[in-house]
Structure 1
């Protein structure tokens, strides 16, 4: 039984909640069909065209949203199949736009960022798990995640690390170096910091299990997790949205994320065997890729 202000919400059957009882002298008093339950709270039918979210956070009021299609036409409850996609779209209507999101709401700090990365790394499908985990977060937290990710991308934007990646894969383009650093961040804080301190640690760390399906140290998907989650929440689909992207950039700028300066490579290919002997011994003649 959950206590919600002067209202008591009683929901039964932990695995399949179908009804919600609200006992109160307020207008919401009554018995409602339970459409869905999530970390955010209970979704119930209020009338033919409205859904209400009863937040899990008992300090928040009941929130009401209208069921509409993408053109703003009202839909009846019978027309709405309440999938997670619909719930997220409606949650965006409740939570508001991304602008100004640095104020209030839950925050994600460096510790919680790395905890999330570590949790994902323990899953059978890390990227899918992380994507689902972000979709359950508040908008503030998703932007904080992207802020942390970009901070560590900037920190690892090093000429010497580019050289190490070049050895591993027998070449490394600009995009590939981005995907490599995404992979490095996905290895967790301990590995990330060890590799930045000593790039040759990669020779000991890399195994078949740490690489992608094609046998490369790359993780392109991690770099788009936040924008995909925000787009899904705001628009209800996965299609790229310029407005959401611009709002995210504005929010990151408000948080103080600086653009990364370009770097000049201070090495030539012929220098690499002497500069990174351990990496060259393992990967110089046997680069990664295509198991």
Structure 2
């Protein structure tokens, strides 16, 4: 599966339901109708596109949305959530992280305390496991086949599929002057508390 069919599947998934759980159920079912090799390719594409989003500017955008800090795992789940926004929004955000401020999913969060984000939380950890779950359904196994699945993914991935460090230059989103220059819309939409 190359990147175009991957995004076609993600776009079709977006059309199914608003709930991430419902979308995952649909996606798992769609993947389970494919060959094990195609399911592995889906995961390879997912890993590659999320690696494309592993930049210091997007880390800063996530940190701004989350109030000034985002863990490594939190950013991983944020990148998966960005995939769920669809190809156009994802690619726009990779090119210009401040463009996230224009997405309906982010606009819904503006002004709300994080405690009220609920199902709108900008993270989608479960997307990272849906191909494994579909692979287990197709293979008729569970549990131990995860190693074989991830070995197959690793064998198919390019050597630079999962960078160890974000691309670009690191900067501090808590520096209001720099944040206002690099992420003007997100900085305005998600002001940081004094002393953050």
Residues 62-91 of structure 1, C-alpha deviations (whole Å, 9 max, x = no match)? xxxxxxxxxxxxxxxxxxxxxxxxxxxxxx
- Unmatched tracts of structure 2, length 5 or more: 110-116
Match 2:156 to one of 248, 255, 265: 255
TM-score norm. by structure 1 comes to 0.55
Residues 88-107 of structure 1, C-alpha deviations (whole Å, 9 max, x = no match)? xxxxxxxxxxxxxxxxxxxx
Instruction: Tell me the residue number matched to 2:65.
Output: 168
Structure 1 residue 129: deviation in Å?
0.9
Cα–Cα, structure 1 residues 210 and 251, in superposed 2: closer, same or farther, change >3 Å?
farther
Structure 1 residue 235: deviation in Å?
4.0
Give the root-mean-square deviation of aligned CA atoms. 2.3
Write 1 or 2 for the structure with the bigger share of strand: 1
Instruction: Tell me the residue number matched to 1:195.
Output: 93
Write 1 or 2 for the structure with the bigger share of helix: 2
Residues 216-266 of structure 1, C-alpha deviations (whole Å, 9 max, x = no match)? 1111111111111112333445xx32xx22222332233243252322671
TM-score norm. by structure 2 comes to 0.79
Bigger Rg over Cα:
1
Structure 1 residue 140: deviation in Å?
1.3
Instruction: Tell me the residue number matched to 2:171.
Output: 267
Instruction: Tell me the residue number matched to 2:15.
Output: 122
Q: 3-state DSSP class of the match of 2:138?
A: helix
Between 1 and 2, higher relative CO (CA 8 Å, sep ≥ 6) is seen in 2
Whether contact under 8 Å (1:164, 1:199) holds in the other structure is yes
Whether contact under 8 Å (1:169, 1:216) holds in the other structure is no
How many residue pairs were aligned?
Answer: 175
Instruction: Tell me the residue number matched to 2:120.
Output: 215
Q: 3-state DSSP class of the match of 2:119?
A: coil
Residues 20-69 of structure 1, C-alpha deviations (whole Å, 9 max, x = no match)? xxxxxxxxxxxxxxxxxxxxxxxxxxxxxxxxxxxxxxxxxxxxxxxxxx
